[in-house]
Structure 1
Amino acid sequence: MQRAMRLLEAVADREYGAPAKQLAREVGLALPTAYHLLRTLTHEGYLRREKGLFFLGEAAERLSGSAAQQKRRSMMDDALAQWRDSIGAPVYYAVYRKGEIELLGVADSPANPAAEEWADFRETGHAHAIGQCLLSQLDEEARRDHLDRHPVQSITPYTVRDERTFLRRLDRLGWQEPVVEHQEYALGTVCAAFPLTAAGGRAAASVAISMPSHQCGRLLPAARRLQAEIGSRSGTLALSISI
């Protein structure tokens, strides 16, 4: 296995491929042994051979993609945890992708627990700050498509009552202004969210925090502080959109 891995690494270092003799010499293998391993790796899809040269195959590329994805997720989790500790509140990261709200990461703690998802998060985007922030980044057609599939409905006494009122609210939101909701999704919880501009247009993205409603006085200042801190590492979250 170790010898096969060394051959894979040698091929990965050669963008334009390499012949068996060169690979055998680089990893210090006898040519018959290298040929046997290369044939096996090619048969299993980890390598492919073209005109006597070996290149990485689809199986190896899938492994590489999986490792990169895990690294991006780890970077995202570390960033969210850092901001959680700095702000003293749960931090959420979500995107709007393929017509749905996707919560990609949450960093909370026993002292500052995340809001409980008591109603399906994807279906109640009109009620929580993350959903409102994501929907505000969509064009009119995409918004209406979403609301046709997930209609506005009251889930607490504070939730917006109808689609027309909700759409007017979205239209009034200022670009890069935090979206704030007070107990619209969950009683006893307030939330603030803002768009992540580093998404580069590939997807609508949002970062948010939540707090108990008795701390509502510190919600907006904390959100603005997080927004200011996030700029230096926003690329971490932008990469995570492909997770």
Structure 2
Amino acid sequence: MSGKDGPTLISSVQRAFRLMEAVGAHDGGVPAKQLARETGLALATTYHLLRTMVHDGYVRKLDDGTFVLGEKLGALHGGSREQAALSRVRPTLAELRDGLSAAAYLTFYEDGEIRVAEIVDGPKAPRVDLWVGFEDAGHATALGKCVLRELDPEARADYLSRHTLNDLTPRTITYRRELLRRLDAAALVPAVTDVEEYALGTACVAVPVRQGDTIGALGISVNISRAASLDDAVARLVVTAERVSRGLSLTI
């Protein structure tokens, strides 16, 4: 990049931000000519920047020819809030990892899928090898089964109708009726376990968490040789899950 390209690009970015700020100051839509006057930009520059931002989703052009902020800005804001929420609970997850010498996992049920939001591991607390994505292994992981247990019957049926219960290990539950029976049997206990159902040599336990109305699960994984320790870990998991739920629900 040449010496004069830098300032030119920076100036273009500054003009774009100035224009978006002006658009955002008008909830009901604002015409390009008014935006040019408010920002001090040439009308041709204003139209050029608006076309680019409309194309990229940062600004939306209404039927009457005026402009409002686009959906992409809302998505960026939502993403930043999610990251801020996760940053608040990472220290709590690290405490859990260090206290139990086990990798800690946080998952959520979003858009019909069980997704990993955070994993906090370390040399003394290695994560399980995620050889199959959690989206396709809800039936085989403590985290996934914990989420499925918390779903209402309609949402659970919808999830199971879209996901095959693949046999990931010889211990994986592959029959829907048996999975539902075990989920119902675990309805009154605080935690859900998986002993070599997802990966041979690994045992996991998980408890529910929530971020507002979003259902999730907090869990740990250990080597199968430490499976007996999972029962003692449940009380700490429950307390930590309450802290995580509070931290995730804070508004900033």
TM-score (norm 2): 0.70
Tell me the residue number matched to 2:238. 224
- The 8 Å contact of residues 80 and 107 in structure 1, kept in 2 or not, is answered as no
CA RMSD, Structure 1 to Structure 2 (Å): 3.4
Q: Does 1:124 align with 2:103?
A: no
3-state DSSP of counterpart to 2:134: coil
Residue 131 of structure 1, CA deviation: 1.5
Q: Per-residue deviation at 1:170?
A: 0.7
- 1:60-111, Cα deviation, whole Å (9 max, x unpaired): x42x134224413422542453222111232323233455433233232233
Supply the AA of the counterpart residue of 1:103: V
1:119 Cα deviation after fit: 3.9
1:122 counterpart SS class? helix
Residue 138 of structure 1: aligned partner? 151
State the Cα distance separating 1:26 from its structure 2 match: 4.8
Aligned ranges for residues 5-154 of structure 1 at < 5 Å?
5-18=17-30, 23=35, 26-27=38-39, 29=40, 33-44=41-52, 45=54, 46=59, 48=61, 54-58=66-70, 61-62=71-72, 64-88=73-97, 89-140=102-153, 142-144=155-157, 146-147=159-160, 149-151=163-165, 153=167
- 1:224 Cα deviation (Å)? 1.8
| Structure 2 unaligned residues grouped into runs of 5+ | 1-11
| 8 A Cα contact 1:154 1:161, kept in partner | no
On the 8 A contact 2:27/2:68 being kept in 1, the answer is: no
C-alpha distance in 2, partners of 1:145/1:18?
Answer: 43
Deviation at 1:49, TM superposition (A): 7.0
Aligned equivalents of 2:157 and 2:236: distance in 1? Answer: 32
- Quickly say closer, same or farther: Cα 1:138–1:77, change in 2 above 3 A: closer
Q: Are 1:93 and 1:104, in contact at CA under 8 Å, matched by a contact in 2?
A: yes
Which secondary structure does the structure 2 equivalent of 1:196 belong to?
strand
Matched-pair identity in % = 30
**Does the aligned pair in 1 maintain the 2:169–2:196 contact within 8 Å?**
no
Count residues in correspondence: 226
**Matched residue of 2:19: which SS?**
helix
Aligned pairs for 1:198-217 (under 5 A) are 198-200=211-213, 204-216=215-227, 217=229
- SS of residue paired to 1:206: strand
Using the size of structure 1 for normalisation, the TM-score is: 0.73
2:205 aligned with 1:197, yes or no?
Answer: no
Question: Is the 1:81–1:108 contact (alpha carbons within 8 Å) kept by the matching residues of 2?
Answer: no
Aligned equivalent of 1:241: none
2:51 and 2:175 mapped to 1: Cα distance? 60
